Amino acid sequence: MSQANSSVQSFRWSAATPAQRRVVVAAGLGWMLDAFDVMLYSIVLATLMRAFGMSRTTAGLLNALTLAASALGGLLFGVLADRFGRRRMLGISILVYSVFTFACGLSTSIFALAVFRFLLGLGMGGEWNTGATLVAETWPAALRGRALGIVQSSWAVGYALSAVVAGLVLQHINWRWVFFVGILPAAVVLWIQLSVPEPPLWQRSRSAALPGEKRRAFRRSLRQLVILTLANTFGMFGWWGLFTWIPAYLVLPAAQGGRGFTVLSLASFLVILNLLGMLPGYLLFGVVADRFGRRPAFAGYLAAAAVSVPLLATARQPAFILLFATVAAFFGTGFFTGSAIIGSELFSTQVRATALGISYNVARGLSALAPLTVGALSERHGLAWAFGASALAFAAAAIFGLLLPETLGTEGTGCTTG
């Protein structure tokens, strides 16, 4: 299929096969519930700091542990998914992060909370590359960008849902019950195992694999893997450094460098931020990338995110804070769709889940320094100033994005154009 034809083919949900629709729903649910469980921590971060007497540096370190664990989880589940199947590992990863989110509510010490956050991260890391690989190997190249955009956009829904649930629970019970609610995603695992098929592409690749073929395929992709991992690392540093601390930044009093929002106004703010910023950012990236190319869309989103962060940090009026936060959310999260699309098309079937796991979750592990860095900088200079580290990281990611090959028009076999 030519690049031109690939970019203009109509996306029609009703025209997709039942298997394709179920795969998108399964991967989207997994990613949405991943966001729901993981972001509960950020929503209740200010409450946890008071409950355990944590400094901002310690609070950032706990989130860094989760991100570091996600790197290990991504590698582990990627290798297992290439060997035992994408569907099975998707279900297990969801089960892992659900159980240990619940366990966070049982914590009686910072150490226990740290252990549960680490174990949660293993499942969090495994979910992304198994779900993205499922979609990439089920949908044709011409529609893959928008299919993955739908999956990625579910993160915004999960984030908004976590803000609503956490806000309601904190008003009526306590922070422990916020984490107890996190067990609910485990309910979708049975449906995934019963209803979602393994991609025929993976099944054919597994049966026809020759000795040493996986090793050779991995070596051919090594340069692109390094560049994509670096782009993801800086992009995720920017994202985690900014969005881990935005809730605390908004609710802290002005005397402590915050903006003095109430818990309810914070919940409303985050819902708007996600539905007007993150959600369309994810969805529209697929449209832009299918029309104009993966590389310019990826680098352009990251560059726009770099510009928007200083505008957010210097805003004082709630309306301008919301405006610039929404812009930062649109571009600063939309690029994640690009990472999924480019990665699924750069790497061949034999190593796709493993390579996606490395490019995304090693980056997420390395970006674990972001919450810690921003937290430590904020103790000396304030959160608004510390957000500058996120702006610089987004800019660096845009530069690495320009070094990636263009993958629009490929069928996801590891071949690239341009």
pLDDT at 300: 94
Using the predicted structure, report yes or no on whether residue 260 has a pLDDT greater than 60. no
Whether residue 98 lies inside any domain: the answer is yes
Average pLDDT over residues 396-410: 84
330 within 8 A of 275, measured Cβ to Cβ: no
58-62, 69-73, 406-410: least confident range: 406-410
The predicted pLDDT at position 399 comes to 95
Distances (CA, A) of 204 to 17, 252, 345, 380: 19, 55, 18, 56
Q: Is the pLDDT of residue 5 over 50?
A: no
Please report the sign of the dihedral spanned by the C-alpha atoms of residue 69, residue 144, residue 226, residue 296. Answer: negative
Could you give the 3-state DSSP secondary structure of residue 330? helix
Q: Are 282 and 274 within 8 A, CB to CB?
A: no
* CATH code for position 281: 1.20.1250.20
Percent of the chain with pLDDT over 90: 11
The residue that leads in pLDDT, 349 or 96, is 96
Predicted local confidence at residue 372, as pLDDT: 78
Work out how many domains the chain is built from and give that number.
1
Up-side HSE of residue 187: CA atoms within 13 Å toward CB? 6
Q: Identify the residue with better confidence: 398 or 58.
A: 398
Query: Mean per-residue pLDDT for 32-57?
Result: 79
Note the pLDDT of residue 2.
39
The reported pLDDT for the residue numbered 395 is 95
Which pLDDT score is estimated for 8? Answer: 45
Q: Give the end-to-end CA distance of the chain in Å, rounded to a whole number.
A: 15
Asked if residue 413 is part of any domain, the answer here is no
Residue with the bigger pLDDT between 121 and 144: it is: 121
Determine the Cα–Cα distance for residues 309 and 95; give it in Å rounded to an integer.
35
Please report which confidence band the pLDDT of residue 6 belongs to, taking 50, 70 and 90 as the band edges.
very low
Annotate 150-176 with b (16+ C-beta within 10 A) or e (fewer). Answer: bbbbbbbbbbbbbbebbbbbbeeeebe
197: phi then psi, degrees, rounded to nearest 5? -85, 155
Q: Look at residue 60 in the predicted model and tell me its pLDDT.
A: 76
Q: Which structure tokens are listed for 318? A: 């709630």
- Identify which has the larger pLDDT, 53 or 393: 393
pLDDT tens-digit map of 285-332? 878 887 888 899 999 999 999 999 989 888 777 778 888 889 999 999
**Rounded distance, CA 208 to CA 261, Å?**
58
Q: Is 145 helix (H, G, I), strand (E, B) or coil?
A: helix
> 111-115, 141-145, 268-272, 403-407: which range is least confident on average?
141-145
pLDDT classification of 417: cutoffs 50, 70, 90: very low
Look at residue 223 and tell me if it is in a domain.
yes
> 337 near 360, Cβ under 8 Å?
no
Question: Can you give the pLDDT at residue 42?
Answer: 75
> Mean pLDDT for the chain?
78
Q: Is residue 409 part of a domain?
A: no
SS3 11: coil
Rounded Cα–Cα distance for residues 91 and 81 (Å): 11
Residue 157 is assigned to a structural domain of this protein: yes
- Residue-range definition of the domain harbouring residue 150: 17-402
For residue 408, give the 3-state DSSP assignment: coil
Give the pLDDT confidence score for residue 262 in this predicted structure. Answer: 60
Query: Can you tell me which residue has the tokens 């699309």?
Result: 341
Residue 412 domain flag = no
Q: How confident is the model at residue 50 (pLDDT cuts 50, 70, 90)?
A: confident
- pLDDT, greater one: 352 or 183: 183
Residue 253 belongs to a domain: yes
Question: pLDDT by residue (tens digit) across 61-112?
Answer: 887 788 788 878 877 887 788 777 777 888 888 888 888 888 988 988 889 9
pLDDT at 153 over 70: yes
C-beta separation of 67 from 121 below 8 A: yes
Q: What DSSP designation does 77 have?
A: H
Look at residue 398 and tell me if it is in a domain. yes
Instruction: Pick the closest to residue 279 from 148, 165, 155, 131 (CA basis).
Output: 155
Q: Please give the average per-residue pLDDT across 218-240, as a whole number.
A: 87
Rounded average pLDDT over 187-215: 66
Note the residue count of the chain. Answer: 418
